[in-house]
Amino acid sequence: MVRERRGLALATVEQETRIPARRLTALEEERFDLLPERIYALGFLRTYAEYLGLDPQPYVDELSARLPSEDAYDAPPLLPAASRSRVLRPAIVSAGTLALTAAVVGLLALRSGGGHPRTVISPPARHLTPPQPPATPQRSSRPRPKLATLVLVAARGRCWLEARLGSPRGSELYSGTLEAGSSVRLSGTRVWIRLGAPSALDATLNQRAVVLPTVTPENIVVTESGVQTG
């Protein structure tokens, strides 16, 4: 398991990703019956994969194929036969009572009129309204965290660097020396980097050129919105 190989405790992952530990355990053990609705389960998996430095799309596609479709969540529950009979029985009894009442009123009218029939106005028929299914609650969607992809190229000499997810205590992405002409690609929603010689590097963030600080050495924090010292 990637998390255990990197020495990450479940409590640490829960704190840094804001995903409940029981949901993380369900994802790791493939206990899909313990996951929330489809949209939340896929969002949890994407965030977890990005936190571990993995490409989330293959995992999201596989989980999406194994989870029930959205229609399965939206289908209204069907009442059991016993419940349906309890709903319909009072309506049937009421209709029968109305018919019996109309017959009795007609018979009394004939007797009181000396055998001459009178027009009897029956009470209006009552239209039965079938039970309505419960309204489906609106599901709120959580915004997906945006991925930052930083490419560093040792264009003007060697540079030592250390990169971790989230903070200096996060999972290690890279640690070593970039030789002149070599490059490294770092991805995550938030990446902390310690640079030994930032002036030797060229950098692009999500395919846009960015300027690195010139102080040696320097700590930076990279997110989708840009590069900051930290």
- Least confident range of 83-87, 151-155, 159-163, 167-171: 83-87
Tokens of 156: 């003007």
- Domain residue limits, the chain: 2-73, 83-121, 148-229
Query: Is domain 148-229 given the CATH code 1.10.3470 in the classification?
Result: no
Residues with Cβ within 8 Å of 110's Cβ and at least 6 positions away in sequence, in order, are 116, 117, 118
Please give the pLDDT value at position 82. Answer: 45
How far, in Å, CA of 38 to CA of 42, rounded?
A: 6
Please give the pLDDT value at position 109. Answer: 47
Please give the pLDDT value at position 93. Answer: 41
pTM of the prediction?
A: 0.40
User: Considering the chain, what percentage of its residues have pLDDT values greater than 90?
Assistant: 38
Residues with Cβ within 8 Å of 152's Cβ and at least 6 positions away in sequence, in order, are 159, 161, 178, 183, 184, 186, 201, 202, 203
Query: Is domain 2-73 given the CATH code 1.10.260.40 in the classification?
Result: yes
Q: Is the pLDDT of residue 150 over 90?
A: yes
Asked whether the beta carbons of 145 and 47 are under 8 A apart, the reply is yes
Q: Is the pLDDT of residue 183 over 90?
A: yes
